[in-house]
Amino acid sequence: MPRSAKSLLALLVISCPANGELHFNRDIRPILADTCFNCHGVDEGSRKAGLRLDTAEGAYENHDGFRAIVPGDLKESELIYRIFNEDEDEVMPPPDHPHQLSKTQKNTLKQWVLQGGKYEGHWAFIPPEKARIVGSSKWGENAIDSFIFKKLTEAGLTPQPEASRETLLRRLSLDLTGLPPILDEQKIFLNDKSPEVKKPGSYAANCLLARRLAERDVRFIQLFHQGWDHHGGLPKALKGQCSDTDHPTAGLLTDLKQRGMLEDTLLVWGGEFGRTTYCQGKLTRENYGRDHHPKCFSMWMAGAGIKKGITIGKTDDYCYNILEDPIHVHDLNATILHLLGVDHERLTYRFQGRQFRLTDVHGKLIKKALS
Ligand code: HEC
């Protein structure tokens, strides 16, 4: 079966209300709104037979022995009697009403009454509930997949095995550009097997997400790498931290460049703090740490308006004090604002009797860094 037909089938199964619990707001209200509320809704002026179907009180109310809905009881529910009626003087909605009920809609209403005909308040006042993860881990990689797997199994379908990477790339390329991939792209794609890119919330996955957001014109994107801070076990831990961040960061830069987006995207990278060069804790060959050092630390910028391949500033041999070209955080902020087209001296607001700005009364452009 072709791919599109298969996923369409899965969608149909998922949206079919016949299996599973029906919800008033999601499954029932839209039907009643189209076909009944004109004459049995909130508007008293056009209400017929004194019957309201938009509230539970109205629907359950006794009208001289008839009740539109008797929860769980199809025979006693006048609503069911009326919508399945063949007599044109009795059937609801009346035959000349522009919106008629389909067979599926009639069955949905029937099912709902049988399930108890429960009404729900306005969705905005219903506290959201976290869905329980269903299904098994036999197929798929994340929580959403487990829901899909459950529905597929219910419908007697077996999921296809994952397509080969060549096929995935071909589909992606045809979707995005309408052309098959070129050989170089294929080489890069086939060699890129890091499991990190699929782990939700990993720095690598965040880099991919950031690229996608940038492609979609999101103006400001902040991405994190978790767990940077460590004061012990450096020889081992630092290697892990660098492998988590270096390759994905380079990947993000490459992707932006390849798409011609680096020219108008500014990338700013910063670690948590500066670090001392000397040891924190007991020094052994395999295990030592380093403390925070606020006096000097390194950051880099790339992209829009930034001069390429230069380093500014220098510390002493112990990385303790700054010897050359000190740059204050205010300077950095002034420069970032400048690159975003904002003059940091003019972006002010009045507070407690004086003008305040993001760089307070400090900050000068780092002219050397501008291209
Ligand atoms: C265009 C107006 C109109 C629409 C739309 C309409 N109804 Fe009615 N309905 C009436 C009128 C008029 C009556 C009173 C006459 C009668 O009993 O047939 C009535 C009566 C009823 C009654 C009986 C009330 C009683 O106490 O005897 C029920 C139940 C009912 N409608 C259900 C529905 C349902 C369910 C829908 C939507 C699927 C619907 N109606 C759509 C006009 C409408």
Residue 140 confidence (pLDDT): 78
The reply to whether ligand 1 has any atom less than 6 angstroms from the CB of 94 is: yes
Same domain as 176, residue 99: no
Is residue 42 pLDDT above 90, yes or no? yes
Is residue 4 pLDDT above 70, yes or no? no
The reply to whether ligand 1 has any atom less than 6 angstroms from the CB of 93 is: yes
* 102 in any annotated domain: yes
Same domain as 173, residue 120: no
- Ligand 1 probe mutation, 34, 77, 92, most atoms within 8 A of CB: 92
Residue 176 confidence (pLDDT): 81
**Percentage of the chain surpassing pLDDT 70?**
94
The reply to whether ligand 1 has any atom less than 6 angstroms from the CB of 99 is: no
Task: Point out the least confidently predicted range of 2-6, 113-117, 127-131, 257-261.
Answer: 2-6
Same domain as 117, residue 15: yes
Mean pLDDT taken over the chain? 88
Alpha-carbon gap, residue 159 to 153, rounded angstroms? 9
Is residue 2 pLDDT above 60, yes or no? no
Interhelix angle 234-258/203-215, nearest 10 degrees:
20
Residue 78 confidence (pLDDT): 97
* 33 in any annotated domain: yes
- Residue nearest to ligand 1 atom 35, measured at CA: 79
Alpha-carbon gap, residue 65 to 308, rounded angstroms? 84
Alpha-carbon gap, residue 77 to 235, rounded angstroms? 74
Same domain as 121, residue 27: yes
Is residue 183 pLDDT above 60, yes or no? yes
Task: Point out the least confidently predicted range of 76-80, 159-163, 213-217.
Answer: 159-163
| pTM (global) more than 0.85 | no
Is residue 191 pLDDT above 60, yes or no? yes
Q: What 3 state SS string does the chain have?
A: CCHHHHHHHHHHHHHCCCCCCCCHHHHHHHHHHHHCHHHHCCCHHHCCCCCCCCCHHHHHCEECCEECCCCCCCCCEHHHHHHCCCCCCCCCCCCCCCCCCCHHHHHHHHHHHHCCCCCCCCHHHCCCCCCCCCCCCCCCCCHHHHHHHHHHHHCCCCCCCCCCHHHHHHHHHHHHHCCCCCHHHHHHHHHCCCHHHHCCCCHHHHHHHHHHHHHCCCCCCCCCCCCCCCCCCHHHHHHHHHHHHHHHHHHHHHHHHHCCCHHHCEEEEECCCEECCCCECCCCCCCCECCEECCCCCEEEEECCECCCCCCCEECCCCCCEEECCCCHHHHHHHHHHHCCCCCCCCEEEECCEEEECCCCCCCCCHHHEC
Same domain as 30, residue 98: yes
* 90 in any annotated domain: yes
* 238 in any annotated domain: no
Is residue 12 pLDDT above 90, yes or no? no
* 273 in any annotated domain: no
Same domain as 189, residue 83: no
Task: Point out the least confidently predicted range of 29-33, 83-87, 261-265, 278-282.
Answer: 278-282
* 277 in any annotated domain: no
Domain that holds residue 81: 3-125
Ligand 1 atom nearest to 78, measured from its CA:
29
Same domain as 172, residue 59: no
As given in the structure block, the two tokens for residue 134 are 């269903």
Report the separation in Å between the CA atom of 17 and the middle of ligand 1, taken as the mean of its atom positions: 25
**Domain stops at, among 125, 146, 180:** 125
Cβ proximity of 12 and 155 under 8 Å = no
Q: Per residue in 237-254, pLDDT tens?
A: 888 888 889 989 999 999
Q: Per residue in 145-167, pLDDT tens?
A: 888 888 888 899 988 888 888 99
Average pLDDT over residues 343-368: 90
Alpha-carbon gap, residue 310 to 304, rounded angstroms? 15
Closest CA to 52 of 1, 253, 61, 335: 61
The reply to whether ligand 1 has any atom less than 6 angstroms from the CB of 92 is: yes
* 143 in any annotated domain: no
Alpha-carbon gap, residue 101 to 88, rounded angstroms? 14
* 107 in any annotated domain: yes
How many domains, the chain?
2
Q: Per residue in 297-316, pLDDT tens?
A: 889 999 999 999 999 999 99
Report the separation in Å between the CA atom of 24 and the middle of ligand 1, taken as the mean of its atom positions: 19
